[in-house]
Chain A
Amino acid sequence: MRSAAAAPHIVWAVLFIVVPLIIVVYYSFTDRSGAFTLDNIKGLGDYTQIFLLSVELALIATIVCFLVGYPLAYIIARQKPKMQKFYIMLLMLPMWTNLLIRTYSLMAIFDDGGFLNTLLGTQFHIIGTKGAVIFGMVYDFLPYMVLPIYTCISKIDPFMWEAASDLGCSPLSVIVKVIFPLSLSGIISGITMVFVPSISTFYISQKLGGGTFELIGDTIERQFASNALNTGAAISFAMMILILISIWIMNKFSDPEEGGIIV
């Protein structure tokens, strides 16, 4: 009975997760003629710089998202329930607009002759800098940081605040000593959910990077666009491994049973 009930779920999983994975792995280890080769994997070394740059930007974006997102999530979670709903809706509102369109509008704002410079009468050169790409990532993915953290904090027993301050915690140490550790699982999800799309994005770096630098997502896109399926697949494969490793490390932290970092 149980296996029968689970069947549709498995069908979906196979169709949309396992099959594509197999295709990626297949292309990674074959050449154009379909024969087995390790050349694609060996060739990955050429992309080390791009990999490192992508990791760097994604990491910075994730850290910024966390630094902005945690306080935001905390503040929202401490509002009255009605206000919480309102703020969460505000936060979600931009997500109803396509990511690509939002990125385009950022371009229009930050362009050399764009909205911002016109408004201020300045000549800031923003598009094409790392800062612009990071800003784009933060802007696009911030809700993915805030939502899981907010959900986690809002589920914390309200008496935790009182118990902590009762035992001598100042308002700040309540957060540091109790609320932060209790929202760890939300933080882990948030970091994962921002880091993964940031490291694999291509349109943000294309639009806001102004063509000055390339991220790994761009490389993959370019490979596929120029029909170099095998190289593209190999890079994707490497990315996947990278992401899996980061998720695995993250989960190490979030599992309460293994909670090594929690004192």
Chain B
Amino acid sequence: MARLIELKGITKEFDGEKVLNSIDLYIRDKEFITLLGPSGCGKTTTLRIIGGFEKQDAGELYFDGVEISDVPAYKRHVNTVFQKYALFPHLNVYENVAFALRLKKLPEKEISERVSEMLEMVDLVGFEAKNVTTLSGGQQQRVAIARALISKPRVLLLDEPLGALDLKLRKDMQNELKNIQQATGITFIYVTHDQEEALSMSDTIVVMAKGEIQQIGTPTDIYNEPKNAFVADFIGESNILDGVMICDKKVSFASHTFTCVDGGFGPNEPVDVVVRPEDVDVVPVKKGMLRGKVTSVTFKGVHWEIIVDIDGFKWMIQTTDYVAPEAEIGLYIEPDAIHIMKKSEFSGMFGDYSSFSDELDELSDADAVD
């Protein structure tokens, strides 16, 4: 697929602080791409540069092969769904959606046809005359989407469009957005800090941290082959351990040498090792490669989430079989469940699960939503 948008060395400073540090990224036509990263990593800034609301200090921005840094927002074929909707309170639902077409002075008949079409798509038929300020959050969001899509932009920018909605509505809207994207064939650039949302909706995920791109890839790539400790920690649950690559396909961590599938590191190169909680098998102590003591067990519906203390490092393991707290168990890890990463600036920043509790998890989730 053709490259629709290309960012080359995009750098942006605010008050002398680098918010984006030489971002290189291309976005293909018709793809659903997600910028994912923690608060303050520069996602919104990137989006605003593409939308034309902010100008980079250095670097180039191409749209369809043309440099557009100096093209004002209103001339770009890019529309935005704002996080707080930004609907026009003086206009009703119909007029909000019709806004872009009225600017183009299209005939009334075409406007009304296209507005109806849009309202049908976002399931708001019958709301035409309603005042937008009386709508619920989800309804306002739909109006915002219809308003942005009616002029058939090449690209739709969405900045945490579901951030203000409750969980159930968010899930519904995720599906709806994905369907709309596939039906219209419009390129979506989506910003979120919710990794689940990113994994389930995107064709491509761009993981950002500290104003830099950490990894670009498909959801499976990002999940299965995180490039560094930051990505591994940010996407899903992971046990991240210090290891040493003894030679190709042999790695030593947790005082044990494992067979793995990765290679291409120097002899005895220190590495970060990722083992996903669902990839560890619980076995009797004698059959285990590692052994440890279960310190906590939490029922999660589909599986149990257990924390296992192995020589002081707390592992998280997901298992479908019940394990009693305080039990001694063995762990078995398949070679392809071990993922090796080069050491990075993020190495050692993510500890084990010793301070882990559900309560804390929820608290930090709530923080993240804000």
| A263: chain B residues within 8 A (beta carbon) | 95
Q: Closest Cβ of chain A: how far from B364's Cβ, in Å?
A: 28
CA distance A181 to B99 in the complex (A): 14
Q: In the complex the two chains form, is A163's CB within 8 Å of B90's CB?
A: no
Does B350 sit at the interface, judged by CB under 8 A? no
- Digitize B69-102: 1 where CB-to-A-CB distance is under 8 Å, 0 elsewhere: 0001110001110101011111100010001100
Contact B90 A181 (CB under 8 A): yes
Contacting pair A159 B86 (CB below 8 A): yes
Q: Is A168 within 8 A of B84, CB to CB? A: no
* B95→A168 contact, CB < 8 A: no
Which bucket holds chain B's interface residue count?
A: 20 to 34
Evaluate whether A168 and B86 lie within 8 angstroms (CB atoms) in the complex, with A162-B53, A162-B73 already known: no
CB of A50 closer than 8 Å to a CB of B? no
Q: How far is the CA of A107 from the CA of B160 in the complex (A)?
A: 60
A43 at interface, CB cutoff 8 A: no
Give the complex CA separation of A128 and B89 in angstroms: 47
Assuming the contacts A162-B80, A173-B103, asked whether A262 and B73 have C-beta atoms less than 8 A apart, the reply is no
Residues 12-44 of B, flagged 1 when their CB comes within 8 A of A and 0 if not, give 000000000000000000000000000000000
Asked if A163 and B88 make an inter-chain contact with CB atoms under 8 angstroms apart, the answer reads yes
Contact A165 B72 (CB under 8 A): yes
The answer on a CB contact under 8 Å between B74 and A159 is: no
| B100 nearest CB neighbor, chain A only | A167
- A170 and B74 contacting across the interface, CB-CB below 8 Å: yes
Which chain A residues lie closer than 8 Å to B52 at the CB level?
165
User: Does chain A have a CB within 8 A of B104?
Assistant: yes
The CA of A253 and the CA of B75, in the complex, are separated in Å by 33
Contacts of A165 in B (CB 8 A): 52, 72-74
- Chain A hits for B78, CB < 8 A: 166
Q: Which residues of B contact A21 (CB under 8 A)?
A: none
Task: Knowing A163-B80, A168-B104 are in contact, say whether A157-B86 is a contact too (CB < 8 A).
Answer: yes
Complex CA gap A167/B151 in Å reads 8
Instruction: Tell me the complex Cα distance, A232–B151, Å.
Output: 62
